[in-house]
Structure 1
């Protein structure tokens, strides 16, 4: 868990301001072609990933999503491995159950359910912070934590931080090793770890690579969700899915898994199952 995730809101606000100053060079010069910095860490049975970015959305707009479990569900659903999301609780005790599984519904693989508590820990004009936490997950994973922070940086722009972390045990290690030895063998993340003999960058793989792909997908879901504000609920969902897919295609080496039509078909099938009462 990052140090910022453990701090009270006042200290966390100061930490985010300091981080924005500290990351100026990385935000200006990077391989993403935008004001974005991504990092990941692998500790003792724990993985953590962070995205920091300057975005062209005012704080009030980009933080509105995290004030409602229903809207958070709509955002997280854009991720291709999220097959459903069910909000629950009240505004003071909000929660959601995320259903995650294979990117193709007919592929071999089980759907797992993780129940997160949603807490808005700070919400004013200068700083916003919300957390999603789950004590337990599938296959001996545990202590899931998603942290979203934002602050204004002038005009209609904001500096945002999106982090994703979880712990894991023996069963999760075995499952990840099997995945990395088969379907995930050639998949990479975003952190450059060296150069090949012909000068091309080498990217992190393994568990860190997997985490980096996921934290980036969730961050891009935030951008896609915040960029669409007009239309019926069905129209907005369709636009957001298309926007999310387009954003992920900026990084095909890391994030391309399905064609657009296949992604939309999978998501529409998920929505139909949810409407019929099957998550």
Structure 2
């Protein structure tokens, strides 16, 4: 693979929008995942952070850089029952609908328990410039008090591998749930160096959500670099999950448009980190994708 900056940087800007959709906690979270009791204990430990989140919502976002790759997490209280979450994510085709809310995800195909996502380097690039990432969908646990569903891919583009996407949750009363939405992957040295080069040049102005200091005027100084990139995309994909859930009670004919608008509105709540394009352009791209994939093959 050609890894010169001219080739790598455009992919790193958005391909990492998918690949750095990175969410899996650091040491504390990875130990906490895997059961209803463990997730309840974690919910208790994060109670104060959820109640006083700088994101102005009950969300805790974490990220980590490791020797083997990148990882991060979103923990959130959502106004949906655990049954709603289960019904929304139990099929691979539903995951496709959810993932396609992201501006750079342009196509998703399902074959059994495998979903293949096509991602372009920029939203305005044609679909034939997309790379593909194939995930195996699996429900690990689906009880009344605990849900865990995961996607896994052994290989990815640009020297990446061992992808794992995880959604787990517990009920909080009848109409709320506590969710952990996580993603992790490994990358080789070439991919890591190319990412760092991008972040030092074209991506140098991008910031994440973690506040690391204060500017002279008192405004927050946000984290940058690899963790900033992870955090931006962690939030984008959590917002995709939430927008998908918010579309459940909407009549089927209006559901897709509702979800697109909800994803965009959620992203615009954090313009410093997530603003990319205007609503009309976003909706136009997504409607064009639907029309293309609905057209009969020639």
5+ long unaligned stretches in structure 1: none
User: Given the alignment, which residue of 64, 79, 97 partners 1:41?
Assistant: 64
2:120 maps to 1:101 = yes
Aligned to 1:261: 280
2:266 maps to 1:243 = no
Aligned to 2:55: 32
User: Given the alignment, which residue of 159, 162, 165 partners 1:140?
Assistant: 159
Aligned to 2:42: 19
Describe the superposition over 1:21-74 as per-residue Cα deviations: whole angstroms up to 9, x where unpaired.
Answer: 100110011211111100000010311110111111111112212200000100
2:232 maps to 1:213 = yes
2:58 maps to 1:72 = no
Q: Structure 1 residues 183, 189: CA separation in 2 closer, same or farther (over 3 Å shift)? A: same
Q: Is the 8 A contact 1:83 1:99 kept in 2?
A: yes
Alpha-carbon offset, residue 167 of structure 1:
1.1
Aligned to 1:61: 84
Alpha-carbon offset, residue 98 of structure 1:
0.9
Partners of 1:198 and 1:206 in 2: CA distance: 23
2:297 maps to 1:271 = no
Partners of 1:237 and 1:50 in 2: CA distance: 26
Farther off after superposition, 188-197 or 117-126: 188-197
Partners of 1:101 and 1:168 in 2: CA distance: 19
Q: Is the 8 A contact 1:47 1:167 kept in 2?
A: yes
Describe the superposition over 1:212-261 as per-residue Cα deviations: whole angstroms up to 9, x where unpaired.
Answer: 1111111111111111123235x311111011101111111111101001
Structural RMSD (CA): 2.3
Q: What is the DSSP-based 3-state SS (H/G/I as helix, E as strand, rest coil) of the residue aligned with 2:35?
A: helix
The number of aligned residues is 272
Aligned to 2:252: 232
Aligned to 2:168: 149
Q: Is the 8 A contact 2:136 2:152 kept in 1?
A: yes
Q: For 1:133-212, what aligned pairs fall within 5 Å after superposition?
A: 133-212=152-231
Partners of 2:46 and 2:82 in 1: CA distance: 19
Partners of 1:24 and 1:36 in 2: CA distance: 10
Describe the superposition over 1:168-202 as per-residue Cα deviations: whole angstroms up to 9, x where unpaired.
Answer: 11332243234324432211111111122222211
Aligned to 1:222: 241
5+ long unaligned stretches in structure 2: 1-23
Q: Is the 8 A contact 2:106 2:127 kept in 1?
A: no
Once superposed, which parts of structure 1, at least 4 consecutive aligned residues long, lie more than 3 Å away?
A: 1-9, 106-110
